[in-house]
Structure 1
Amino acid sequence: MRRLHLAAVLFVFLPLAVSAAGTKEAAKAPAAPPAPPNITAAMAKGGCKAFAALVAASPDARSTFQSAGDGGMTAFCPSDDAVRSFMPRYKNLTADAKASLLLFHAVPVYYSQRSLKSNNGVMNTLATDGSANNFNFTVQNEGEQVTIKTDASDHAARLKSTVYDKDPIAIYALDTVLEPVELFEPAESPAPAPAPAPVADAPKAPKKTRHRHVADAPGPAVAADDTSPADQKKSSKKSASPAAPCLRWLAALPVAVAVAAALA
């Protein structure tokens, strides 16, 4: 009778004990992490339908984007207007170049918008392949505005909005397509500003010239036998010598003799 009673008790309470133990073990087990979102679907939902369609059409880009999300990724998708204006250039790229361009829009690290602002500098992208293909861009803040600069563009792309942000994946919308210098010509450096023209000096007043009296140059030497006016006066004075009266008396002598003869 005791055995029947004990068997009945075990039959009733044993399943309850096993069930409680199982419930306790289930409560201790960690919850499974949420499955990563569909990257292209999230992009399309956040205003990047054109870019999401390009990623979906590239097998290499699509698989790389989706697998990178498992380990952490930050993607930057251009807006539909930006992709539309860029399409003529995109169509001229090869299939490999198209995949590289698409992968250039993501980095293999999760960045919230706050951490993105504090981690400025050069970043590797999903398109980076060793040192041969750098495919880097530079994140730089301008005040509260997050921008991305590449060597193939004169203008930095600006972060417009947050499409998705839940660790380990963040997706941000941009206002332009990022252009890697590995696929496009580098942007030309702005020409240096011309040096200012030298200011012309004001015309100076002419210097006053002091005229010095210059002595007349000596005239030609006078020959020894040439007689100057002063010499002529001296000569006339010399000619009036004591012998002159005698000559005058001799000239008058015949006249006096004639007069005397007439009187006789």
Structure 2
Amino acid sequence: MRHLRLAAALLLVVLLPLAVSAADGKAAAAPAKAKAPAAPPPAPPNITASMAKGGCKAFAALVAASPDALSTFQSAADGGMTAFCPTDDAMRAFVPTYKNLTADGKASLLLFHAVPVYYSLRSLKSNNGVMNTLATDGSAKNFNFTVQNEGDKVTIKTDASDGVARIKDTVYDKDPIAIYAVDTVLEPVELFEPAESPAPAPAPVADAPKASKSKKASHRHVADAPGPAGDDAPPADQRKSSKKNDAAAGASCLRWLAALPVAVAVAAALA
């Protein structure tokens, strides 16, 4: 009996550590099985709702009313997109022009306001140049514009306008989507007449070379200088007096000639 108790005690000493080690192993394995699944990526924002909140309600409403434009905007949002929505002030004057476009023209105009690449404002400033838009369809429909800096501002230039559109505010900026409010509607040259280039200023007419003083003097008419008076010519004032005396002498001779016939007649009568 005593031997049995001793054997049981020895067995307990051997088996107890093994049981404790197994329990610890199970406890350590339990947290691995309870690991939570990775959270799914956040859903892209509602493009039109974000535009409306950023002061582009009129433009957002036009996008929402165009099935083609809306579906293209939503598809582009998954892969990355930068949109430029005109403010309500900019759209107010443009709506009559928009209504005169065809359905395809309206969709193209709306898609012309986004590029299929995500650009933060900082990266946009360093990536100036020509960009394709969501409206670009191969070489048949270019629908591109030019991004350039103007001081600290980012501007967008199209061939259909003399001016530029300027980014006013950042509406939404979280990779892979950025939305910026611009102060002018972007007009693609595919839908509107290209802006006329200003006529070059006429070239200045070169002034005729001025004649030198020596040439001017040679062309100036110089009156002939009076020749020297003769030695026997009287002074000018004396010439005037001699003319008067000659006239008086002539008159006296005429009176004597007129009286001569009368004197002859008197003499004959007395004879």
> Under a length normalisation based on structure 2, what TM-score does the superposition of the two structures give?
0.68
Task: Tell me, yes or no, if structure 1 residue 149 matches structure 2 residue 160.
Answer: no
Counterpart-to-counterpart distance in 1, 2:79 and 2:67 = 20
Q: Which of the numbers 87, 90, 99 marks the counterpart of 1:82? A: 90
Give the aligned partner of residue 176 of structure 1.
184
Give the equivalent residue in structure 1 for 2:141.
Answer: 133
Q: How does 1:205-244 map to 2 (within 5 A)?
A: 205=217, 206-207=219-220
Letter in 2 for 1:194: P
Q: Do residues 43 (structure 1) and 51 (structure 2) align?
A: yes
For the pair 1:31 / 2:39, whether they are aligned, the reply is yes
**What is the aligned partner in structure 2 of residue 102 from structure 1?**
110
Q: Matches of 1:91 and 1:201 in 2, distance apart?
A: 61
Deviation for aligned residue 1:198: 3.5
The one of 123, 131, 138 equivalent to 1:115 is 123
Q: RMSD of aligned C-alpha atoms?
A: 3.0
2:32 counterpart (2, 21, 27)? 21
How far off is 1:19 after superposition?
Answer: 5.1
**Aligned pair 1:59/2:70, yes or no?**
no
Q: Give the unaligned 5+ runs of structure 1.
A: 1-8, 212-264
CA displacement at 1:209 relative to structure 2: 7.2
Match of residue 254 from structure 2: none
Q: Deviations over 1:159-201 (max 9, x none)?
A: 1010000000000000000000000000000110122233355
Aligned partners of 1:86, 1:157: CA distance in 2, in Å? 14
Deviation at 1:14, TM superposition (A): 10
Q: Which moved more, 1:190-199 or 1:94-103?
A: 190-199
Which of the residues 203, 208, 212 maps onto 1:195? 203
Q: What is the Cα deviation at residue 122 of structure 1?
A: 0.3
- Inter-partner Cα distance in structure 1 for 2:87 and 2:188: 18
Are 2:194 and 1:186 aligned? yes
Structure 2: 5+ residue runs without aligned partners? 1-19, 225-271
Q: What is the identity, as a one-letter code, of the residue corresponding to 2:121?
A: Q
SS in 2 for 1:182: coil
CA-CA distance at 1:13 after TM superposition? 9.2
Please identify the structure whose Cα radius of gyration is greater.
1
1:235-254 aligned within 5 A:
none
Task: Report the alpha carbon displacement of residue 30 of structure 1 after superposing the two structures with TM.
Answer: 3.6
Which residue of structure 1 aligns with residue 235 of structure 2?
A: none
**For residue 114 of structure 2, what is the amino acid of its counterpart?**
A
Cα distance in 2 for partners of 1:144, 1:189 equals 27
Residue by residue over 1:8-63, the C-alpha shift from the partner in whole angstroms, topping out at 9 and shown as x without a partner, is: x9xx999967752232x32xx54321100000000000010000000000000011
Cα deviations by residue, 1:47-80 (Å, 9 ceiling, x for unpaired)? 1000000000000001110110000000000000
**Percent of matched pairs sharing the same residue:** 78
CA distance in 2: counterparts of 1:127 and 1:146, whole angstroms:
21
Supply the distance in 1 between the matched residues of 2:29 and 2:74 (Cα, whole angstroms).
42
Aligned residues: 205
Distance 1:84 1:16 in 2: 68
Output the CA distance in 2 between the equivalents of 1:143 and 1:36. 32
TM-aligned CA distance change 1:15 to 1:53, over 3 Å = farther
Task: Please tell me the residue identity of whatever aligns with 1:176.
Answer: T
